[in-house]
Protein backbone atom coordinates (compact mmCIF):
# COMPACT_ATOMS: atom_id res chain seq x y z
CA UNK A 1 0.00 0.00 0.00
CA UNK A 2 1.25 3.53 -0.74
CA UNK A 3 2.30 5.73 2.15
CA UNK A 4 1.40 9.39 2.30
CA UNK A 5 -1.57 9.36 -0.08
CA UNK A 6 -4.82 7.58 -0.83
CA UNK A 7 -6.09 6.38 -4.19
CA UNK A 8 -9.76 6.17 -5.14
CA UNK A 9 -10.20 4.39 -8.46
CA UNK A 10 -13.55 5.22 -9.99
CA UNK A 11 -12.92 4.77 -13.75
CA UNK A 12 -12.75 6.80 -15.86
CA UNK A 13 -11.66 9.14 -13.03
CA UNK A 14 -8.71 8.52 -10.71
CA UNK A 15 -8.67 10.47 -7.44
CA UNK A 16 -5.49 10.93 -5.39
CA UNK A 17 -5.53 12.48 -1.92
CA UNK A 18 -2.22 13.58 -0.41
CA UNK A 19 -2.28 12.68 3.29
CA UNK A 20 1.13 12.99 4.89
CA UNK A 21 1.53 14.76 8.20
CA UNK A 22 -0.24 17.95 9.23
CA UNK A 23 0.90 19.85 6.14
CA UNK A 24 0.74 17.09 3.49
CA UNK A 25 4.45 17.44 2.71
CA UNK A 26 6.20 15.01 0.37
CA UNK A 27 9.60 13.41 0.67
CA UNK A 28 11.44 11.85 -2.27
CA UNK A 29 10.20 8.33 -1.56
CA UNK A 30 6.55 9.39 -1.49
CA UNK A 31 7.01 11.45 -4.65
CA UNK A 32 8.48 8.42 -6.41
CA UNK A 33 5.46 6.37 -5.34
CA UNK A 34 3.19 9.03 -6.79
CA UNK A 35 5.20 8.90 -9.99
CA UNK A 36 4.43 5.20 -10.29
CA UNK A 37 0.74 5.93 -9.78
CA UNK A 38 0.78 8.52 -12.54
CA UNK A 39 2.68 6.17 -14.85
CA UNK A 40 -0.12 3.67 -14.36
CA UNK A 41 -2.70 6.39 -14.95
CA UNK A 42 -0.97 7.45 -18.17
CA UNK A 43 -0.89 3.91 -19.54
CA UNK A 44 -4.33 2.68 -18.42
CA UNK A 45 -7.06 3.40 -20.99
CA UNK A 46 -9.72 2.85 -18.33
CA UNK A 47 -8.69 6.05 -16.51
CA UNK A 48 -9.01 9.30 -18.42
CA UNK A 49 -8.79 12.11 -15.85
CA UNK A 50 -6.93 12.41 -12.54
CA UNK A 51 -7.98 14.63 -9.62
CA UNK A 52 -5.38 15.51 -6.98
CA UNK A 53 -6.39 16.98 -3.63
CA UNK A 54 -5.16 17.10 -0.04
CA UNK A 55 -6.48 15.62 3.17
CA UNK A 56 -7.87 17.92 5.83
CA UNK A 57 -8.81 21.57 5.53
CA UNK A 58 -5.54 23.47 6.08
CA UNK A 59 -3.12 22.25 3.42
CA UNK A 60 -3.35 21.01 -0.14
CA UNK A 61 0.40 20.36 -0.04
CA UNK A 62 3.14 22.32 1.71
CA UNK A 63 5.80 21.04 -0.66
CA UNK A 64 9.07 19.34 0.20
CA UNK A 65 9.39 17.65 3.60
CA UNK A 66 12.06 19.77 5.32
CA UNK A 67 12.43 17.18 8.07
CA UNK A 68 13.59 14.77 5.37
CA UNK A 69 15.93 17.48 4.12
CA UNK A 70 17.34 17.96 7.61
CA UNK A 71 17.87 14.19 7.73
CA UNK A 72 20.05 14.27 4.63
CA UNK A 73 17.65 14.27 1.69
CA UNK A 74 18.93 16.62 -1.00
CA UNK A 75 17.03 19.18 -3.07
CA UNK A 76 18.28 17.46 -6.22
CA UNK A 77 17.50 13.90 -5.10
CA UNK A 78 15.46 11.56 -7.28
CA UNK A 79 11.83 12.61 -6.85
CA UNK A 80 10.66 10.12 -9.45
CA UNK A 81 9.99 9.82 -13.14
CA UNK A 82 7.28 12.49 -13.00
CA UNK A 83 9.16 14.93 -10.81
CA UNK A 84 7.88 16.31 -7.50
CA UNK A 85 4.32 15.14 -6.92
CA UNK A 86 4.41 12.51 -9.63
CA UNK A 87 3.20 14.30 -12.75
CA UNK A 88 4.98 17.63 -13.27
CA UNK A 89 7.50 16.29 -15.79
CA UNK A 90 5.96 12.96 -16.77
CA UNK A 91 6.63 12.42 -20.48
CA UNK A 92 3.65 11.96 -22.81
CA UNK A 93 1.01 12.45 -20.12
CA UNK A 94 -1.75 13.32 -22.55
CA UNK A 95 -4.51 12.97 -19.98
CA UNK A 96 -5.84 15.88 -17.90
CA UNK A 97 -4.87 16.39 -14.26
CA UNK A 98 -7.17 18.52 -12.11
CA UNK A 99 -5.93 19.94 -8.82
CA UNK A 100 -8.65 20.45 -6.20
CA UNK A 101 -6.97 22.84 -3.77
CA UNK A 102 -8.45 22.38 -0.30
CA UNK A 103 -6.08 24.71 1.56
CA UNK A 104 -2.59 26.18 1.39
CA UNK A 105 -0.52 25.31 -1.68
CA UNK A 106 3.06 26.06 -0.70
CA UNK A 107 6.37 25.60 -2.52
CA UNK A 108 6.28 22.32 -4.39
CA UNK A 109 2.55 22.09 -3.67
CA UNK A 110 2.02 25.35 -5.53
CA UNK A 111 4.29 24.18 -8.33
CA UNK A 112 2.08 21.13 -8.82
CA UNK A 113 -0.77 23.50 -9.72
CA UNK A 114 1.38 25.14 -12.37
CA UNK A 115 1.72 21.75 -14.08
CA UNK A 116 -1.98 20.85 -13.78
CA UNK A 117 -4.47 21.26 -16.61
CA UNK A 118 -7.30 22.65 -14.49
CA UNK A 119 -7.41 24.05 -10.94
CA UNK A 120 -10.35 24.55 -8.60
CA UNK A 121 -9.77 26.04 -5.15
CA UNK A 122 -11.64 26.73 -1.93
CA UNK A 123 -12.26 30.34 -1.03
CA UNK A 124 -9.62 30.45 1.72
CA UNK A 125 -6.83 28.78 -0.26
CA UNK A 126 -3.40 30.46 -0.14
CA UNK A 127 -0.59 30.16 -2.70
CA UNK A 128 3.09 31.00 -2.26
CA UNK A 129 6.68 29.81 -2.76
CA UNK A 130 9.08 30.28 0.18
CA UNK A 131 12.00 28.25 -1.21
CA UNK A 132 14.67 31.02 -1.18
CA UNK A 133 14.10 31.40 2.56
CA UNK A 134 15.43 27.86 3.05
CA UNK A 135 18.29 28.23 0.58
CA UNK A 136 16.87 26.70 -2.61
CA UNK A 137 14.70 27.78 -5.55
CA UNK A 138 11.30 26.66 -6.86
CA UNK A 139 12.34 24.80 -10.01
CA UNK A 140 8.97 24.69 -11.74
CA UNK A 141 7.97 28.09 -10.42
CA UNK A 142 11.12 29.70 -11.79
CA UNK A 143 10.58 28.20 -15.23
CA UNK A 144 6.79 28.34 -15.57
CA UNK A 145 5.33 31.11 -13.45
CA UNK A 146 6.40 34.11 -15.53
CA UNK A 147 5.01 32.36 -18.61
CA UNK A 148 1.62 32.12 -16.95
CA UNK A 149 1.20 35.47 -15.18
CA UNK A 150 2.67 38.98 -15.63
CA UNK A 151 6.42 38.95 -15.18
CA UNK A 152 6.52 41.49 -12.35
CA UNK A 153 3.95 39.57 -10.30
CA UNK A 154 5.88 36.35 -10.89
CA UNK A 155 9.13 38.01 -9.83
CA UNK A 156 7.56 39.34 -6.64
CA UNK A 157 6.28 35.87 -5.75
CA UNK A 158 9.62 34.25 -6.53
CA UNK A 159 11.84 36.83 -4.87
CA UNK A 160 9.79 37.85 -1.83
CA UNK A 161 7.50 34.89 -1.16
CA UNK A 162 4.43 37.06 -1.87
CA UNK A 163 1.21 35.20 -1.06
CA UNK A 164 -1.85 35.09 -3.27
CA UNK A 165 -5.30 34.34 -1.96
CA UNK A 166 -7.75 32.34 -4.05
CA UNK A 167 -9.38 35.40 -5.60
CA UNK A 168 -6.00 36.84 -6.61
CA UNK A 169 -4.88 33.49 -8.03
CA UNK A 170 -8.05 33.39 -10.11
CA UNK A 171 -7.50 37.00 -11.20
CA UNK A 172 -4.06 36.11 -12.56
CA UNK A 173 -5.36 32.97 -14.29
CA UNK A 174 -3.81 30.39 -11.95
CA UNK A 175 -7.19 29.04 -10.82
CA UNK A 176 -10.20 28.19 -12.98
CA UNK A 177 -12.84 28.34 -10.25
CA UNK A 178 -13.06 29.42 -6.62
CA UNK A 179 -15.82 27.62 -4.74
CA UNK A 180 -17.13 27.10 -1.21
CA UNK A 181 -15.35 24.26 0.56
CA UNK A 182 -18.35 21.95 0.44
CA UNK A 183 -18.45 22.27 -3.35
CA UNK A 184 -14.76 21.59 -4.04
CA UNK A 185 -14.77 17.91 -4.98
CA UNK A 186 -18.15 18.07 -6.70
CA UNK A 187 -16.82 20.88 -8.89
CA UNK A 188 -13.62 18.97 -9.72
CA UNK A 189 -15.65 15.86 -10.56
CA UNK A 190 -18.02 17.92 -12.70
CA UNK A 191 -15.02 19.18 -14.69
CA UNK A 192 -13.70 15.63 -15.02
CA UNK A 193 -17.05 14.29 -16.19
CA UNK A 194 -17.30 17.00 -18.83
CA UNK A 195 -13.89 15.96 -20.12
CA UNK A 196 -14.80 12.27 -20.36
CA UNK A 197 -17.80 13.17 -22.52
CA UNK A 198 -15.28 14.04 -25.24
CA UNK A 199 -13.32 11.64 -27.43
CA UNK A 200 -10.17 10.33 -25.69
CA UNK A 201 -7.95 10.81 -28.73
CA UNK A 202 -9.16 14.39 -29.19
CA UNK A 203 -8.33 15.25 -25.58
CA UNK A 204 -4.93 13.57 -25.91
CA UNK A 205 -4.19 15.49 -29.13
CA UNK A 206 -5.10 18.82 -27.54
CA UNK A 207 -2.79 18.28 -24.56
CA UNK A 208 0.03 16.99 -26.74
CA UNK A 209 -0.23 19.92 -29.15
CA UNK A 210 -0.46 22.51 -26.39
CA UNK A 211 2.85 21.20 -25.10
CA UNK A 212 4.54 20.87 -28.50
CA UNK A 213 3.51 24.29 -29.82
CA UNK A 214 4.11 26.35 -26.67
CA UNK A 215 6.07 29.46 -27.61
CA UNK A 216 6.08 28.75 -31.35
CA UNK A 217 4.97 31.34 -33.90
CA UNK A 218 1.54 30.51 -35.34
CA UNK A 219 2.80 29.22 -38.74
CA UNK A 220 5.33 26.93 -37.04
CA UNK A 221 2.65 25.77 -34.58
CA UNK A 222 0.34 24.76 -37.42
CA UNK A 223 3.19 22.96 -39.16
CA UNK A 224 3.97 21.08 -35.96
CA UNK A 225 0.32 20.19 -35.44
CA UNK A 226 -0.20 18.82 -38.93
CA UNK A 227 2.72 16.41 -38.56
CA UNK A 228 2.18 15.38 -34.93
CA UNK A 229 1.40 11.71 -34.37
CA UNK A 230 -1.37 12.53 -31.89
CA UNK A 231 -3.09 14.77 -34.46
CA UNK A 232 -2.82 12.26 -37.29
CA UNK A 233 -4.04 9.44 -35.06
CA UNK A 234 -7.07 11.50 -34.03
CA UNK A 235 -7.94 12.51 -37.60
CA UNK A 236 -7.82 8.91 -38.86
CA UNK A 237 -9.59 7.38 -35.86
CA UNK A 238 -12.83 5.45 -35.64
CA UNK A 239 -13.89 7.95 -32.99
CA UNK A 240 -13.66 10.83 -35.48
CA UNK A 241 -16.20 9.01 -37.66
CA UNK A 242 -18.30 8.03 -34.63
CA UNK A 243 -18.51 11.62 -33.43
CA UNK A 244 -19.91 13.02 -36.65
CA UNK A 245 -22.19 10.02 -37.13
CA UNK A 246 -23.60 10.32 -33.62
CA UNK A 247 -24.23 14.03 -34.15
CA UNK A 248 -26.22 13.48 -37.34
CA UNK A 249 -28.12 10.59 -35.72
CA UNK A 250 -28.89 12.75 -32.66
CA UNK A 251 -27.45 10.28 -30.17
CA UNK A 252 -24.60 10.17 -27.67
CA UNK A 253 -21.33 8.96 -29.19
CA UNK A 254 -19.77 5.70 -28.07
CA UNK A 255 -16.02 6.31 -27.86
CA UNK A 256 -13.54 3.47 -28.38
CA UNK A 257 -10.28 5.40 -28.08
CA UNK A 258 -9.18 4.26 -31.49
CA distances from 254 to 151, 200, 203 (A): 44, 11, 15
Identified catalytic residue from 33, 73, 111, 168? 111
Of residues 36, 131, 214, 223, which has the active-site annotation?
A: 131
Strand partners, 177: 120
Residue 131: active-site member: yes
- HSE value, Cβ hemisphere, 13 Å, CA-based, for 166: 20
111 is catalytic: yes
Question: Which of 176-209 are b and which e, b meaning 16 or more Cβ less than 10 Å from the residue's Cβ?
Answer: bbbbeeeebbebbbebbeebbeebbbbbbbbbbb
Count other Cβ atoms within 10 Å, centred on residue 212: 15
* Orientation of helix 139-148 relative to helix 151-160, angle to 10°: 150
Which stretch of DSSP H or E encloses residue 161?
Answer: none
Active site residues: 111, 131
Amino acid sequence: MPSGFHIDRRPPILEITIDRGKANVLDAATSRELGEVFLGFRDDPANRVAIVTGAGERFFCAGWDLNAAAGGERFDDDFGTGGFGGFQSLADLNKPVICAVNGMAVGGGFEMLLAADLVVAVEDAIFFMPEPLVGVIPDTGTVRLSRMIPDLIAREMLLTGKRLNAAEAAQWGLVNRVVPREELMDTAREMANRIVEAAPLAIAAILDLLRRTEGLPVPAAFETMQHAESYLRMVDSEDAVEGTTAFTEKRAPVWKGR
